[in-house]
């Protein structure tokens, strides 16, 4: 069984090498001690890292060029000629991934790959096909700005209202799901509205979303965070759109 880590990258020269080190450092052996009765025994997942450079101009591409020349078997590197947005990069990543399970990983060190096991376990146990890592379920995290917190909670509340669910963190990066969940799923978003589009279409197809707590080390705008209030507005419009169409 293989896990594909889908990593969109845009101008992350300062963090790219460290996040790859952290992803590779995770031991993907689940249930080593045999204590989990829902699994037959230990499962060790093969790892694939699918990096999509979305038109970086800060030196990120030079790092990737160097890696591509000596790439290990666990890495695919795909280049976009110009910046298309996170949604465009994820769509490319989904097309190239070969894993049985997919997880989305940002390259900016906000999310900790050591949380992968918690994300994978409900899927491997057969409890669900989709797991979201929630920043609001008590895991360790740095203080999030008030505007960021309210924006996340507002968009999540609208998601719950429109789709009849009880999510605590719809906008989380850590979305983990079996490959068959998105096979044949038409995805159209190019920017950050990919998050609500994915969520809307997962829920409309009858999948329940299992949430687990994760850690979070958020950046602020002066540190390179790219989300603004305009992305929150786009998220709401995306939720409304896909509630009534596909």
* Complete domains list, the chain, with CATH: 2-244 (3.90.550.10)
b/e burial code for range 167-177 (CB count within 10 A of at least 16 → b): bbbbbbbbbbb
The pLDDT assigned to 36 comes to 66
The pLDDT assigned to 222 comes to 43
The pLDDT assigned to 244 comes to 85
Q: Give residue-wise pLDDT tens across range 145-165.
A: 777 888 889 999 999 999 999
- Beta-strand pair 46-54/2-9: parallel
The pLDDT assigned to 50 comes to 97
Low-confidence stretches of the chain (pLDDT < 50) are: 222
| pTM (predicted TM-score) | 0.91
Among 160, 165, 169, residue whose Cα is nearest residue 139: 169
The pLDDT assigned to 148 comes to 80
């Amino acid at each position: 069984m293989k896990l594909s880590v889908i990593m969109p990258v845009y101008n992350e020269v300062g963090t790219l090498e460290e996040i790859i080190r952290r992803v590779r450092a995770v031991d993907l052996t689940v249930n080593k001690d045999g204590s989990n009765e829902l699994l037959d025994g230990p499962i060790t997942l093969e790892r694939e890292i699918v990096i999509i450079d979305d038109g970086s101009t800060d030196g990120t591409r030079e790092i990737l060029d160097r890696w591509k020349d000596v790439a290990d078997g666990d890495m695919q590197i795909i280049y976009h000629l110009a910046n298309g947005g996170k949604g465009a990069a994820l769509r490319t990543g989904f097309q190239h991934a070969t894993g049985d399970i997919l997880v989305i990983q940002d390259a900016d060190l906000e999310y900790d790959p050591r949380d992968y096991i918690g994300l994978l376990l409900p899927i491997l146990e057969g409890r669900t096909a989709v797991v979201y890592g929630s920043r609001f379920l008590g895991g360790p995290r740095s203080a999030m700005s008030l505007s960021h917190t309210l924006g996340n909670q507002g968009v999540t509340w609208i998601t719950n209202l429109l789709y009849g669910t009880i999510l605590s963190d719809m906008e989380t990066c850590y979305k983990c799901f079996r490959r068959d969940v998105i096979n044949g799923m038409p995805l159209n978003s190019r920017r950050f509205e990919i998050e609500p589009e994915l969520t809307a279409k997962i829920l409309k197809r009858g999948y329940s979303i299992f949430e687990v707590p994760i850690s979070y080390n958020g950046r602020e705008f002066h540190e390179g965070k790219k989300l603004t209030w305009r992305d929150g507005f786009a998220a709401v419009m995306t939720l409304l759109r896909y509630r009534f169409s596909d």
